[in-house]
Amino acid sequence: MRRKTRPRFKPSNKDLSPADAAVRKGGYELKGRIWIEGTSGTFLGYGRVVLLERIAEFGSISKAAKSMGMSYRHAWELVDSINRQARRPLIETSVGGKKGGGTKLTEAGREAVEGFWNIYEKFKRFLNKEGASLQF
Amino acid sequence: MRRKTRPRFKPSNKDLSPADAAVRKGGYELKGRIWIEGTSGTFLGYGRVVLLERIAEFGSISKAAKSMGMSYRHAWELVDSINRQARRPLIETSVGGKKGGGTKLTEAGREAVEGFWNIYEKFKRFLNKEGASLQF
DNA sequence: AACCGTTATTCCCGAATGTATATAACTATA
DNA sequence: TATAGTTATATACATTCGGGAATAACGGTT
């Protein structure tokens, strides 16, 4: 008896595609994930890219995390992991200041987000095409 | 400081592709997984299909599990999960008898294995194609 | 100098997996 | 009837993952 796994984060204000792309056919679904791996594990995946988008939107790691139902601790670790693996940093953080600080994407960060979505869209089309012929 | 995750099973006698298909390009790899989901979670994925192949090869869940470095308990749970979600059973088990019992694939089971590998091969080609244009 | 909101960091905890281990149940064969 | 090798099942344990909470550091602004 296995309980349904809890979603990794709550979709909040935006209509969010699921982290697992899926295609249903007669009771079965072809699902899948893709991600880009760097020198030390995952570099960019669905959740990380959504996080980057939220950071760009809110200008803050903590607000981005909260908007996804993700702990700040986890979000920070993801940001750190991304920046440590990127050739050029994708995220710029600043501490202190009038508003306490903030975080924004670099140009490379915006390009990375766009690049990932491009591949992800093709992946969804792949699942769509191949999932149509499931018979078990 | 995160330790490299241990491989889910040891490749033993056969040359086994990794569970995560991957394509390298300039330090980054496009990796991914696909699986077929049924009424209650995963129905068939890479590891499950390899397990089915091993069962067909050895005629026993316990030997198949051992050959993959997987606990019998886990292998049994996977087999049970597969059969509970399949329209027609993919695996036939027998208890007792001269050799204590055994397990073999049904015709539907062999077809499922082949069907999954077909899609998986296409998926690897997809990763190969899309992974060639990674730039970050 | 005090304030304030955010980043940066640490420790503790619970959920989810999967291994290890032990044991019962089964049944053709000798 | 006893044997043997496998399936079937439960309990205990280790590991991993991420949330929660607490705290320090930071630095414009007032």
In the numeric block, the tokens 């999954």 are attached to B116
Structure tokens at B131: 């992974």
- Whether residue B71 contacts residue B65, with contact meaning beta carbons closer than 8 Å, is answered with yes
Say if residue A1's pLDDT is above 80: no
Contacts of A135 in chain B (CB under 8 A): 115
Return the percentage of chain A with pLDDT > 90, whole number.
72
Q: Which residue has the tokens 């591949």?
A: A119
In this predicted structure, which of A24-28, A101-105, B41-45, B120-124 has the lowest mean pLDDT?
A24-28
Look at residue B7 and tell me if it is in a domain: no
Question: Residue A130 has which token pair?
Answer: 């191949």
Give the bases of strand D that a protein CB approaches within 7 Å: 4-11, 16-22, 25-29
Indicate whether A50 belongs to any domain. Answer: yes
Nucleotide nearest to B93 (CA to C1'): D7
Q: Where in the sequence is the domain holding A57, given as residue range(s)?
A: 36-131
More confident residue, A30 or A26: A30
Asked if residue B5 is part of any domain, the answer here is: no
Which tokens hold the place of B34? 């696909």
Q: What is the pLDDT of residue A76?
A: 97
More confident residue, B70 or B3: B70
User: Is A34 exposed, middle or buried (CB count within 10 Å of its CB: 0-12, 13-18, 19+)?
Assistant: buried
- B40 three-class SS: coil
In a domain, A48, yes or no: yes
Distance CA B59, CA B66 (A): 12
**Residue A26: predicted pLDDT:** 62
Residue ranges of chain B whose CB lies within 8 Å of a chain A CB: 2, 22, 27-41, 43-44, 86-87, 108, 111-112, 115, 119, 122-123, 126-127, 130, 134-136
Contact A9, A70 (CB under 8 A): yes
Question: SS3 sequence, A83-110?
Answer: HHHCCCCCEEEEECCCCCEEEEECHHHH
pLDDT tens digits for range B28-56: 999 999 999 999 899 999 999 999 999 99
Helix, strand, coil abundance in chain B, percent, nearest 5: 45, 20, 35
Q: Is residue A14 part of a domain?
A: no
A106 in any annotated domain:
yes
| Residue A80 CA from chain centroid, whole number | 14
CA-CA distance, B76 to B101, in Å (whole number)?
14
Residue A85 falls inside a structural domain: yes
- CATH (domain of B113): 1.10.10.10
Asked if A136 lies within 8 A of B36 by C-beta distance, the reply is yes
B18 falls within a domain:
no
Instruction: Count up the domains in chain A and report the number.
Output: 1
